[in-house]
Amino acid sequence: MKKISKREEEKKEKIKKENIEKFDEEYKKSRIIPNDYKKSILIRILKNTIIAIIAVTYLILLNMLSLKLETNIYMIFCKSICIVFAVVSVIYFEISYRKDNGYIFMHGTEFLILATITLFSIYAYTIFFGKYNHILLVICISIVIYYIIKTVVTIINMRKQYYKSQNDIKEIVKK
């Protein structure tokens, strides 16, 4: 067996450390998300936040109108809005089907849920008249919680998607 001198051994250790440091630097660089991708994440978060604000504002408006309008007029208003939301939901479903886009499909589902909430509010107004404001408050809180969870899941999924796109293991395996 060949004996390795201390100098050669130190040289090998030094090369190992340098390689490890280079690998660490490359790994850290690969974990940094570029600004344009961060911007797309922020845009999606902003869209979700705006939609949540609009949905909560709609429910607050629904609550205020229930206090100001006569019962018959309020029922007609709720039914009309329910039909509008249902039509918008169907339009979103059609667009998402044609473009094969799950993000648009989610918006269609959210409009359908708002239509269902509006339809439910008609019956809650007549059956639980005294507790109607509390019911709408609970629904508002539920919507806010949903959008918070949706935003967190969106951030996690978009980051995973980015890291998965940067992974070169598939290319290495193909070679």
The first and second tokens of residue 97, run together, are: 């089907």
The candidate with the shortest Cα–Cα distance to 55, out of 112, 4, 104, is 112
The candidate with the shortest Cα–Cα distance to 122, out of 167, 171, 162, 80, is 80
The first and second tokens of residue 136, run together, are: 């709408």
101 SS3 class: coil
Residue 80 pLDDT > 80: yes
The first and second tokens of residue 25, run together, are: 């630097």
What pLDDT band is residue 30 in, cutting at 50, 70 and 90? low
Task: Please report where in the chains the tokens 């059609």 appear, as a residue.
Answer: 94
What integer pLDDT is reported at residue 164 of this predicted model?
78
Residue 36 pLDDT > 60: yes
C-alpha pair distances (Å), 170 with each of 26, 127, 159, 166, 173: 19, 59, 19, 10, 5
Taking residues 158-172, what's their average pLDDT?
74
The rounded percent of the chain whose pLDDT value lies above 90 is 42
What integer pLDDT is reported at residue 174 of this predicted model?
61
What integer pLDDT is reported at residue 96 of this predicted model?
92
- Mean per-residue pLDDT of the chain: 85
- How many angstroms separate the CA atoms of 76 and 89, rounded? 20
What pLDDT band is residue 148 in, cutting at 50, 70 and 90? very high
C-alpha pair distances (Å), 131 with each of 55, 123, 138: 20, 12, 11
Residue 173 pLDDT > 70: no
What integer pLDDT is reported at residue 35 of this predicted model?
82
